[in-house]
Chain A
Amino acid sequence: MLMTDPKLKLEICYLLSGSMAIVSFALLYQSRMAATINTFAVHALLLGLVVALQADIQAEHNLYLTAAIAVLFKAIAIPLALHFIIRKFDLHRTIEMVVSPGLTMTAGLGLVVVAVMVMRPVTVHSDALVTADLIFAMVVLLLGILMMITRRNAITQVVGFMSLENGLILAMAGVHGMPLVVEISVALTVLVACIVFGMFFFRIRERFSSLDIRHLESDGRVSQ
Chain B
Amino acid sequence: MLDYVLIGAFAELALGILAVAGRRYGAIGTVVYGGCLVISTGLVLDSVAVLAGVGGGTPPTAVLPFGMPWLPGHFRLDALSAFFLLVASLGGASVSLFALGHSRHPGSHAPDAARILPFYPLFLASMTLVVVADDALMFLFFWEFMSISSWLLVLSNHREKGNDHAAFVYLMMAGIGAGALLFAFGLMAGPQGHYTFEAMRAASHSHLLAVGVFVLALIGAGGKAGIVPLHVWLPLAHPSAPSWVSALMSGVMTKIAVYGFIRICFDLDGPLPWWCGGVVLLIGGITAVMGVVQALMEHDLKRLLAYHTVENIGIIFIGLGLAMTFRFNGLAALAALALAGALLHVFNHSVFKSLLFIASGAVLWATGNRNMENQGGLIHRMPGTALAFLIGSAAISALPPFNGFVSEWLVLQALLSGTVLPQWLLKVAVPVVAAMLALSAALAATCFVKAYGIVFLGRPRSAAAADAQETDRFSLAAMFFMAGLCVAVGVLPTPILALIDKATQLLTGATMAGAEGTNWLWLVPISAERSSYSGLVMLVLICLAAGALRLIIHYVLSHHVRRRSAPWDCGFPDVSPNTQYTASSFAQPIRRTFGATLLAARERVTTPDPGDPSPASIVVVITDHAWQLLYVPVAQAVQFAAGWLNEFQNVSIRHYLAFMFAALILLLLVITPWQ
Contact = CB atoms under 8 A, between A and B. Distances in A.
Determine direct contact between A and B, CB below 8 Å: yes
Interface of A: 102-103, 113, 116-117, 120
B565 interface: no
A30 to B, nearest CB: 20
A103 B425 CA distance: 22
A117 B427 CA distance: 10
Nearest to B596: A100
Contacts of A120: 424
Contacts of A116: 424, 428
Nearest to A113: B428
B628 interface: no
B597 A103 contact: yes
Contacts of B424: 116-117, 120
Given A116-B424, A120-B424, 7 more contacts: A102-B597, A103-B597, A113-B428, A116-B428, A117-B424, A117-B425, A117-B428
A117 B428 CA distance: 9
A157 to B, nearest CB: 24
Contacts of B597: 102-103
A103 B597 CA distance: 9
A88 to B, nearest CB: 38
Majority SS at the chain B contact face:
helix
Interface string B397-440: 00000000000000000000000000011001000000000000
Nearest to A99: B597
Nearest to B427: A116
A113 B428 CA distance: 7
A74 to B, nearest CB: 32
Interface string B53-80: 0000000000000000000000000000
Contacts of B428: 113, 116-117
9 contacts: A102-B597, A103-B597, A113-B428, A116-B424, A116-B428, A117-B424, A117-B425, A117-B428, A120-B424
A110 to B, nearest CB: 10
Contacts, number: 9
Contacts of B425: 117
Contacts of A117: 424-425, 428
Contacts of A102: 597
Interface in B590-604: 597
Interface string B591-630: 0000001000000000000000000000000000000000
Contacts of A103: 597
A216 to B, nearest CB: 44
B293 to A, nearest CB: 14
A103 B596 CA distance: 11
A96 B428 CA distance: 32
A218 to B, nearest CB: 49
B292 to A, nearest CB: 18
A102 B597 CA distance: 10
A102 B424 CA distance: 26
A156 B189 CA distance: 63
A113 B430 CA distance: 12
A129 to B, nearest CB: 18
A113 B424 CA distance: 10
Contacts of A113: 428
A120 B424 CA distance: 9
A123 B424 CA distance: 14
- Please name the 5 residue pairs, one residue from A and one from B, whose CB atoms are nearest each other, closest first: A113-B428, A120-B424, A116-B428, A103-B597, A117-B424
B310 to A, nearest CB: 22
A116 B428 CA distance: 9
Nearest to B594: A102
A71 to B, nearest CB: 35
B583 to A, nearest CB: 25
A203 to B, nearest CB: 36
A103 B593 CA distance: 11
A131 B33 CA distance: 66
B60 to A, nearest CB: 49
A154 to B, nearest CB: 28
A103 to B, nearest CB: 7
A100 B425 CA distance: 28
Nearest to B428: A113
A116 B423 CA distance: 13
A93 B428 CA distance: 38
A125 B186 CA distance: 46
Nearest to A117: B424
A116 to B, nearest CB: 6
A111 to B, nearest CB: 12
B652 to A, nearest CB: 58
B431 to A, nearest CB: 10
A131 to B, nearest CB: 12
Nearest to B593: A102
B422 to A, nearest CB: 12
Interface string B80-98: 0000000000000000000
B596 to A, nearest CB: 8
A113 B282 CA distance: 15
Interface string B573-600: 0000000000000000000000001000
B426 to A, nearest CB: 12
Nearest to B597: A103
Interface in B143-167: none
A115 B425 CA distance: 12
Nearest to B435: A109
A120 B423 CA distance: 12
B152 to A, nearest CB: 45
A103 B598 CA distance: 11
A117 B426 CA distance: 11
A103 B424 CA distance: 25
A50 to B, nearest CB: 25
A116 B424 CA distance: 9
A178 to B, nearest CB: 26
A58 B506 CA distance: 57
A146 B658 CA distance: 59
A102 B428 CA distance: 20
A44 B428 CA distance: 29
Interface in B464-487: none
A134 to B, nearest CB: 15
A102 B439 CA distance: 15
A120 B427 CA distance: 12
A66 B425 CA distance: 36
Interface in B276-294: none
A138 to B, nearest CB: 14
A102 B596 CA distance: 12
Nearest to B429: A113
A102 B594 CA distance: 10
A220 to B, nearest CB: 44
Interface in B32-63: none
Interface string B351-390: 0000000000000000000000000000000000000000
